[in-house]
Amino acid sequence: MTIAGPSLPGFDVVIVGAGTAGCLLARRLAQATSARIAVIEAGPRFPALALTPPLAGLRLRTRWSWPLLTTPQAALNHRRIPIPMGRVVGGSSAVNAMICAPGPLEGFRDWQAFGGPTWGPEAIAPIWQRLTSIGEMSPLPVAAPGYRSPFSEAFLAACMESGFQREETQWGERSGSCGPFALFQHRGGRASSAQWLVAQPAPGEVTLIPDQSVRRVVLRRGRAVGVQLLSGEMVAASEGVVLCAGAFHSPWLLQLSGIGPAEVVQRAGKRVRVHLAGVGRGLRDHVAMPLVIDSRARSPGRPGNWLPAALRWGWSRSGVMASNCAEAGCFLGAPGDIPEGEIVSLFQTQRHRRAVELMAVLLRPVSAGTVELDPANPLGPPRINPAYLAAAIDRQRLCRILDQAREIAHQPALRRFGLSRERLPGAVPGPEALAAHASTFHHPVGTCRLGDDGMAVVDSQLRVHGVERLWVVDNSVVPEIPGGHTAATALIIAEQAWPGIAAAIQAPGSRLRAATSSSSTFSSTSQR
């Protein structure tokens, strides 16, 4: 439908952010209620032709990502680290490497200490089991890799020579394991939450509003009643607002709305509506260090092979174009413990033409940072300071993971690839190498933490403390960083959150009712 007039129509629920969690939440609420739901996304609709072919989409994804940068990182030679996240319908599920490796279920034992039994492993287990069942359509299609490169197979053999135990599918559950990753894919193509929502309309009414940025949540007498767009237009929400904007933009929006640490809000010239000290605090992210080694073997995904690869993919959805390049990995740590590190194999790297890459990843960092409004430009990009590797223990652990990656690279199973000169980090000592080359693994969490203490932002039902009818449902609520990949975490959070939100918006006195299949609609709007 086309939007006319000075303001957008009113809705029952407004969801800010059509990302991994936002699309899933919209569908679940539409299935369960008769709510009129608006999903507002700063980016455009999902460009299926560009991003659905996995390998090609990974090369093109920066066009549909927020061009975010960190503040200068003291432990990384004061470098500003690019930290792009999805800016498109589907969010980061539309641009990530599609890996479904949620880590060990037991990791939710830490969450239970913050959010109570509803966030413990026993409560999460049914969701986790659905997520790790290949072939299930809920909450997103998960498939075994449709293509596996010779280098990935050799990497797994080298891991076994180094003492790792191979698993048929690598979910990241066990330290000391290796295997090919399960992927968020369907028939050899990317399975983003955007495709899933649009292709399978729910019974309720969902209106997608792309290419619109939100500047604040509108509060009235302590209750969220809608949002204001950057254009100045208001979108009313009679039953509530849900922020699904991610670990950077959800706290940023709260602070813009006057909800957050008083000093941060005031410094940006905003009125403090609710002082919540934890908004934007506790940012943690997985930190990665590349090991890049020259190889005599030609990559199956080299540019010269793209035309026949694209034709094959278009015909049969198979071949190297169905690959995510990061096809396999191993997880490090003490037996029985949550993994503290990961090594991911890549059969080619954009850093050098004839090279392979092993990415050493720190999964359980101690270092924590902040997300704040920029006082000089509050409506501009958030000021992101992850404090990467600020703690000495993080540097020590990442160096150990890098050493393990080197050990794997020197195993006999990889000799046939003619691995020779180590381009990165080379002869540079470990700590200096980290300072020069370590970066993000794109898994930020924790900036609107779950809990009931002085630094918590949301309660066990993900309601923002001190504000009625305002929820946060995304990776910003994570209380302890997972020992696995966070795309799965966002889905788990949305699946766990929607029943409570559905119950709240259908409470006595609401006009809403349980959904019926006869009211199925899905529309897409664009600003004129």
pLDDT in tens, 359-399: 999 999 999 999 999 999 999 999 999 999 999 999 999 99
Q: What is the dihedral of CA 185, 187, 192, 193, to 10 degrees?
A: -110
Backbone angles phi, psi at 413, to 5 degrees: -60, -20
**All residues at 6 or more sequence positions from 109 whose CB lies less than 8 Å from its CB, including other chains:** 120, 121
Q: Which of 414, 290, 312 has its CA nearest to residue 55?
A: 312
Q: Are 191 and 98 in contact (CB under 8 A)?
A: yes
pLDDT at 199: 54
Cα radius of gyration (the chain): 23
Task: Give the span between the Cα atoms of 490 and 205, in whole angstroms.
Answer: 23
Backbone angles phi, psi at 150, to 5 degrees: -55, -35
pLDDT at 5: 34
pLDDT at 1: 25
Q: Which domains does the chain have, with CATH numbers?
A: 1-140+183-254+461-508 (3.50.50.60), 146-180+287-364+390-437 (3.30.410.40)
pLDDT at 7: 53
**End-to-end CA, the chain:** 11
pLDDT at 382: 98
pLDDT at 198: 62
Task: Give the span between the Cα atoms of 8 and 10, in whole angstroms.
Answer: 7
Q: What is the 3-state secondary structure (H, E, C) of 416-446?
A: HHCCCCEEECCCCCHHHHHHHHCEECCCCEC
Q: What is the mean pLDDT of each successive set of 10 residues along the chain, which is 528 residues long?
A: 46 96 93 92 93 93 95 98 96 96 94 95 94 79 93 98 96 97 95 72 75 97 96 95 98 98 97 98 98 94 90 95 97 92 95 91 98 97 98 97 97 94 87 95 98 97 98 98 96 96 84 57 44
Q: Which of 466, 419, 49, 505 has its CA nearest to residue 219?
A: 466
Task: Give the span between the Cα atoms of 239 and 224, in whole angstroms.
Answer: 8
Q: Which of 409, 502, 512, 475 has its CA nearest to residue 246?
A: 475
pTM: 0.94
Strand 182-183 vs strand 99-100: parallel, antiparallel, or unpaired?
Answer: antiparallel
Task: Give the span between the Cα atoms of 75 and 395, in whole angstroms.
Answer: 9
What does the pLDDT look like over 285-298, one tens digit per residue? 999 999 999 999 99
DSSP 117: G
**What is residue 9's three-state secondary structure?**
coil
